[in-house]
């Protein structure tokens, strides 16, 4: 996205498609989201609770001044919130990845008129590649996020800067994950797709920020977040990357 107007235009066209010819995709997406809701309330809550107990015990054993102790507790709370959101993110992206890929393919077919016939061999190959891509994306995001959190803990005065940067990094990862559906159809491998998303960070952020906002609210993250945020981001990414030069979608 070179301009904010282009980014808004991509989202508007995406939702015209989702309200029109792609609207039936909300049915399978809604069913998968219900499954995720049950998984999330149980699994992620358990993991976050264990992490909270461990980190809390480590912090309480360290002698420090009252103000530094309070600041550290606040940072730990935020870290646990980020941990929960990031765990939520990759569960959503892995479970709903095949559905997002199908929605992206349907959007591109509607814009270009070129449909790709289903192939079980290609589907299996794409699923394996998708797992590799998710692992690479997670490693990249978590490494940089850990660096930002470490910097914020070591130099608390920088926390107001490192926290927003960590959130934007997560938003970029959301955008990169749905852009990967397009890179996959272009024949790019996991690393090539990751690098393409790095080079098109403007597009990744423009589609990833709304997705991240949906997924940043604890209740919405396991209810309508994957549905509304994921479907919107997936379609907007396809419009942004493949829509230029093609005829506008008629709905």
Distance separating alpha carbons of residues 127 and 145, to the nearest angstrom: 26
* pLDDT(180) > 90: yes
Token pair belonging to 188: 């790019």
How confident is residue 245, by pLDDT bands cut at 50, 70 and 90? very low
* pLDDT(173) > 90: yes
pTM for the structure as a whole: 0.78
- 40 CB burial (10 A radius; 0-12, 13-18, 19+): buried
Q: What percent of the chain has pLDDT over 90?
A: 36
- Residue with more model confidence, 41 or 206: 206
Mean pLDDT over the full length of the chain: 80
How confident is residue 27, by pLDDT bands cut at 50, 70 and 90? very high
Helices (H), ranges, 113-158:
120-154
How do residues 38-79 score in pLDDT, each as one tens digit? 766 665 556 555 655 565 565 555 554 566 556 655 666 666
The domain spans of the chain are 4-242
Given this model, what pLDDT does residue 248 score? Answer: 40
Roughly what angle, to the nearest 10 degrees, separates helices 66-112 and 230-242?
60
> How large is the average pLDDT for residues 16-42?
85
Q: Of 135, 112, 246, 247, which is closest to residue 185 (Cα–Cα)?
A: 112
Which of 82-91, 103-112, 214-223 has the least mean pLDDT? 82-91
- Residue with more model confidence, 156 or 30: 30
């Amino acid at each position: 996205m070179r301009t904010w107007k282009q980014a808004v235009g991509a989202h508007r066209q995406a939702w015209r498609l989702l309200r029109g010819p792609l609207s039936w995709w909300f049915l399978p997406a809604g069913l998968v989201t219900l499954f995720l809701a049950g998984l999330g309330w149980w699994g992620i809550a358990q993991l976050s609770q264990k992490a909270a107990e461990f980190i809390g015990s480590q912090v309480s054993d360290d002698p420090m001044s009252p103000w530094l102790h309070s600041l550290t507790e606040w940072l730990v709370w935020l870290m646990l919130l980020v941990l929960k959101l990031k765990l939520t993110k990759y569960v959503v992206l892995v479970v709903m990845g095949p559905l997002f890929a199908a929605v992206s393919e349907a959007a591109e077919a509607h814009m270009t008129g070129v449909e790709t016939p289903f192939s079980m061999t290609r589907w299996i190959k794409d699923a394996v590649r998708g797992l590799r891509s998710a692992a690479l994306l997670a490693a990249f995001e978590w490494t940089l996020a850990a660096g930002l959190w470490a910097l914020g803990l070591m130099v608390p005065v920088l926390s107001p800067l490192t926290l927003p940067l960590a959130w934007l990094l997560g938003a970029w990862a959301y955008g990169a994950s749905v852009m990967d559906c397009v890179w996959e159809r272009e024949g790019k491998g996991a690393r090539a797709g990751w690098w393409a998303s790095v080079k098109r960070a403007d597009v990744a952020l423009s589609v990833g920020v709304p997705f991240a906002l949906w997924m940043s609210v604890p209740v919405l993250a396991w209810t309508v977040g994957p549905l509304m945020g994921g479907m919107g981001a997936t379609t907007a990414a396809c419009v942004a990357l493949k829509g230029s030069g093609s005829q506008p979608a008629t709905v």
